[in-house]
């Protein structure tokens, strides 16, 4: 019951924002800026840079708002713009170098590891990953992109995307294992 008026409000806001209504644009910004800054923060370690990238993303959103056709959700459309903006930022910083690495020493994923970490700890864990691993992992595991989409967006092979994900998972599992052991130790103490 509450969702329908919200969607109606959002479409009205979008219609006004297309006509450069600053009030409507501010409403849309206030609605989505928190989530979008979180998205940018997943890819970019520095919060100040993440915020800058988010502002660039919103600038593009309002500039090309007339191109949004209400086919999907507005949040999804904005999210995609933000992710592209983050990738282009990382490329400009030359920190995003993805190399094709083999899967020779990887024997499959272990699905028994659980985590009981809070958001900040998870973010810290993700930040500890190399840029290539991190971007592919976030895009696949958090954003839900397929390897084909990731390979297109990052201009890499599907195999490279898969290998990056495997390596990221392996590193995270190892870190989680060590963290769990230390946590158990703490509990014991």
Partner 1 sequence: MGELKFEKDFSEKLNKRKIVPKAGSWTELSARLNSEEKSKNPMFWWIGIAATIVGGILIFSVLFNEPISENPIVVDAPSKVIFKDKSEPLQISSEKLASEELKSPEKASEKPAKTLISKKEPVINLEPSAMANAMDSTQKKNDRNEQDPDLKVKTKISGIHEEMIAEASLKGIKTGNVTDAEVDALLAEATDLISRERSANPVSENIDADALLFNAEMELEQSFREKVFVVLKESYLKAKTSVANRNN
Taking contact as CB under 8 A, which single stretch among the options 8-16, 87-95, 116-124, 152-160 is the one that binds partner 1? 116-124
Name the minimum Å distance from CB 21 to partner 1: 11
C-alpha distances out from residue 69 to 66, 77, 79, 111, 113, Å: 8, 10, 15, 40, 42
Using CB under 8 A as the binding rule, the residues of this chain from 20 to 59 that contact partner 1 are 20, 22, 25-26, 29-30, 33-35, 37-38, 41-42, 47, 51, 54-55, 58-59
Contact 94, 157 (CB under 8 A): no
Q: Is 126 in the site for partner 1 (CB under 8 A)?
A: yes
Residue 70: left (phi > 0), alpha (psi -120 to 50), or beta? left
Taking residues 63 to 102 in sequence order and writing x for each that binds partner 1 by CB under 8 A, - otherwise, the string is x---------------------------------------
Q: Report d(CA 88, CA 82) in Å as an integer.
A: 10
* Six-digit token string for 38: 């979180």
Q: Is the dihedral of CA 173, 176, 180, 181 positive or negative?
A: positive
Q: Report d(CA 66, CA 120) in Å as an integer.
A: 36
Name the minimum Å distance from CB 94 to partner 1: 25
- When the beta carbons of 113 and 153 are compared against partner 1, the nearer one is 113
- When the beta carbons of 95 and 180 are compared against partner 1, the nearer one is 180
Among residues 24, 26, 49, 28, which one has the least CA distance to residue 37?
A: 49
Name the minimum Å distance from CB 88 to partner 1: 17
Q: Which residues bind partner 1 (CB under 8 A)?
A: 20, 22, 25-26, 29-30, 33-35, 37-38, 41-42, 47, 51, 54-55, 58-59, 62-63, 109, 111-119, 122-123, 126, 141-142, 144, 162, 165, 169, 172-173, 176
């Amino acid at each position: 019951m509450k969702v329908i008026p919200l969607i109606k409000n959002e479409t009205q806001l979008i219609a006004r924002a297309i006509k450069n209504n600053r009030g409507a644009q501010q409403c849309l910004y206030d609605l989505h800026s928190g989530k979008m800054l979180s998205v940018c923060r997943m890819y970019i370690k520095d919060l100040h840079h993440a915020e800058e990238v988010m502002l660039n993303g919103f600038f593009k959103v309002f500039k090309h708002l007339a191109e949004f056709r209400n086919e999907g959700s507005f949040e999804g459309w904005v999210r995609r713009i933000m992710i592209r903006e983050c990738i282009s930022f990382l490329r400009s910083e030359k920190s995003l170098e993805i190399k094709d690495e083999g899967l020779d020493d990887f024997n499959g994923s272990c699905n028994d590891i659980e985590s009981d970490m809070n958001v900040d700890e998870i973010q810290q864990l993700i930040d500890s990953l190399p840029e290539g691993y991190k971007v592919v992992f976030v895009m696949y595991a958090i954003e839900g992109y397929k390897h084909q989409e990731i390979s297109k967006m990052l201009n890499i092979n599907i195999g490279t995307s898969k290998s990056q994900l495997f390596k990221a998972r392996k590193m995270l599992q190892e870190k989680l294992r060590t963290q769990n052991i230390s946590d158990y130790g703490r509990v014991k103490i």
